Amino acid sequence: MLKRTSAEDIRRRLADKIIKGQLAPGTALDESVLAAEFSVSRTPVREALRLLAASGLVAQRPHAKALVAKPDEAELAGMFEVMAYLEALCAGLAAGAMTSTEREALDALHQEMAGIVHFGDTARYAEANDQFHARIYEGAHNAYLYEITQSTRQRLQPFRRAQFSALGRLAKSHMEHGVIVEAILRGDRAEAEAAMRRHIVIVSDEVQRLGHG
């Protein structure tokens, strides 16, 4: 899927900015401005915006400026609900399908994250957390499931950014991971699924609580 085109490059850079919160939901994306910013013509910018719209990060209407997607409360709740189910499915399948190498790598990463928690490095934890979940998605050994789960995660990322700032959330998150890892390592599909589901529901609740406050 790698495309060495300017359009693909711009797509990736814009997606990064949206995911990292440098472009807040609701922000207007002017083609000419972006073209100047990236030193290209409007054509590849247009194509990048189209792709972002297709993946749901951007909302487009004919003849109107593209906006960074801004789902309302209900839409967000629905997406988090689906996210919980998808991640749970990944964890359950991973418990049954992961190779021993993958299981060891997951366990190693989990141990490593204990150290990050200890130092309270939220930025590094957030990064490792993405990797942790990605490894479980991969572990399900289902390319399509990986694709849609990762895509859903990306789409929700702008709204989960501050989650680890909450007091004690880092340590709790790591403990929840521990239950998931244990279940996956012993091949307990049902418990892996249930534990992941609980984990994501907690994250969703936390995020939506913060969103309201």
Partner DNA sequence: GATGATTTGTACGTATGTATA
Partner DNA sequence: ATATACATACGTACAAATCAT
Interface residues toward DNA, by CB under 7 A: 3, 5-7, 29-32, 35, 40-44, 46-47, 60-66
In the numeric block, the tokens 């340590």 are attached to 171
| Cβ atoms of 91 and 196 closer than 8 Å | yes
Judged by CB under 8 A, does residue 60 bind a copy of itself? yes
Among 36, 114, 148, 190, contact with a copy of itself (rule: CB under 8 A): 148
**Dihedral (CA of 29, 157, 84, 203) sign:** negative
CB of 211 to a copy of itself, least distance (A): 17
Look at residue 99 and give the partner it binds from a copy of itself, DNA, none, a contact being a CB closer than 5 to 8 Å depending on partner kind.
none
Residue 60's closest CA among 14, 100, 103, 16? 14
Report d(CA 142, CA 53) in Å as an integer. 25
CB of 84 to a copy of itself, least distance (A): 10
Look at residue 148 and give the partner it binds from a copy of itself, DNA, none, a contact being a CB closer than 5 to 8 Å depending on partner kind.
a copy of itself
Residue list 8-47, contact with a copy of itself (CB under 8 A): 8, 46-47
Which residue, 22 or 32, is less far from DNA as judged by CB? 32
Which residue, 25 or 96, is less far from DNA as judged by CB? 25
Look at residue 79 and give the partner it binds from DNA, a copy of itself, none, a contact being a CB closer than 5 to 8 Å depending on partner kind.
a copy of itself
Report d(CA 154, CA 192) in Å as an integer. 22
Judged by CB under 8 A, does residue 142 bind a copy of itself? yes
Task: Report the relative pairing of strands 58-59 and 28-29 from DSSP bridges.
Answer: unpaired
Residue 61 gets which letter from DSSP? Answer: -
In total, the chain counts a number of residues equal to 213
Look at residue 30 and give the partner it binds from DNA, a copy of itself, none, a contact being a CB closer than 5 to 8 Å depending on partner kind.
DNA
CA 213 centroid distance within chain: 23
At 58, which helix (H) or strand (E)?
strand 58-59
| Cβ atoms of 136 and 91 closer than 8 Å | yes
Report d(CA 99, CA 139) in Å as an integer. 8
Look at residue 94 and give the partner it binds from a copy of itself, DNA, none, a contact being a CB closer than 5 to 8 Å depending on partner kind.
none
Judged by CB under 8 A, does residue 205 bind a copy of itself? no
Residues that bind a copy of itself (CB under 8 A): 3-5, 8, 46-47, 50-51, 54-55, 60-62, 74-75, 78-79, 81-82, 85, 89, 142-145, 148, 152
